[in-house]
Amino acid sequence: MLNDKKILYSGMQATGTLTLGNYLGALKNWVALHEEYECLYGVMDLHSLTVRQNPAEFRKNARSLYALYVAAGLDPQENCIYYQSHVPAHAQLSWILSCFTYMGELNRMTQFKDKASKHSDNINAGLYTYPVLMAADILLYQSDVVPVGVDQKQHLEIARDIAQRFNALYGDVFTVPEAYIPKAGAKIMSLQDPGRKMSKSDENANAAVLLLDERDAIVRKFKRAVTDSGKEVRFLEEKPGICNLMNIYGCVTGKSSEEIEKEFDGKGYGEFKLAVGEAVADELAPLQKRYAELMADKAYVDAMIQKNDEKAAYFAEKTLRKVHKKVGLTERVRG
């Protein structure tokens, strides 16, 4: 884009406050990536519309997500952090790509089946074609790599398939993206059910730590975390609850499983859970302070949004014009 670095693209939906899982599994890992990649991060508000939103709350959540990106350490001067809905090319390319996507491919998407079962009263076309919009998000910026969790691998695969199909017809138009898998913290599990991923939509308030939870609430949630039989802090397959807590503790302290086991040798689960809670609270304190400053500085945040929206739109339009030309759409007369 601006240099010879490869392009990395990612984003999060603008619904509710992010969890510790979002932070340790993705956001924290993104901070240093600009040194190696040209990074774009979207506030994915168009994707959020597959579920009915309260308009005022939705707008507030989108701005909150933008502030959390920056508070977590993503410098908007070094990364392009923008609103998906502020770049019309996303929706425009999505329609074109939908004409190059097969029904059978969308029918195989397991996340659609999962979400449809949870929102049986609102199984809309947007929920079904969600992967096409995601493909447009990625392909618009000629993304080389995309950080993905296990639940998004299918969506990246269909984006690759669409890109390859389009390229086979029209030449080298899109970069075919590869998955970027972080080394650690890829999957943080629920504190109440370590068999499920931590989620901000969990009905059990004690299952997820939110990034804006107060210190006492964070410590309390870890004290109530589900553990396993026995008393020893050991990283064993038959101890999913303890493994999850060790994973979290390791992510925020930088300690290995062996170091954690040695630190808590001869100590019980109660002492360990308290230590994890306090370590997480310490980790999130600077983020929360910076977030409060950003939310109070409307002029700065507005200026960064405008600047990065314009940057994203410039590169998105570049790809879209190329696609329009390839498929035979009439070029707009520009004054």
Return d(Cα 133, Cα 46) in angstroms, integer.
Answer: 9
At 88, list the tokens: 């019309």
Selecting among 115, 221, 239, 311, the annotated active-site residue is 115
Nearest CA to 77 out of 313, 324, 304 is that of: 304
By the 8 A CB rule, do 19 and 199 touch? yes
Selecting among 6, 200, 307, 322, the annotated active-site residue is 200
Look at phi and psi of residue 183 and say left if phi exceeds 0, alpha if psi is from -120 to 50, else beta: alpha
Handedness of CA 57, 62, 63, 67 (dihedral sign): positive
DSSP track, 153-202: HHHHHHHHHHHHHHHHHHSS-S---EEE--SS---PBPSS-TTSB--TT-
Return d(Cα 73, Cα 30) in angstroms, integer.
Answer: 9
- Concerning whether 187 is annotated as a catalytic residue, the answer is no
Pairing label, strands 80-83, 178-180: unpaired
What's the order of all strands across the beta sheet hosting 6-13? Answer: 80-83, 37-44, 6-13, 145-147, 178-180
- Concerning whether 115 is annotated as a catalytic residue, the answer is yes
- Concerning whether 28 is annotated as a catalytic residue, the answer is no
Phi, psi of 278 (to 5 degrees): -70, -35
Nearest CA to 152 out of 178, 131, 132, 174 is that of: 131
- List, by residue number, the catalytic residues: 115, 197, 200
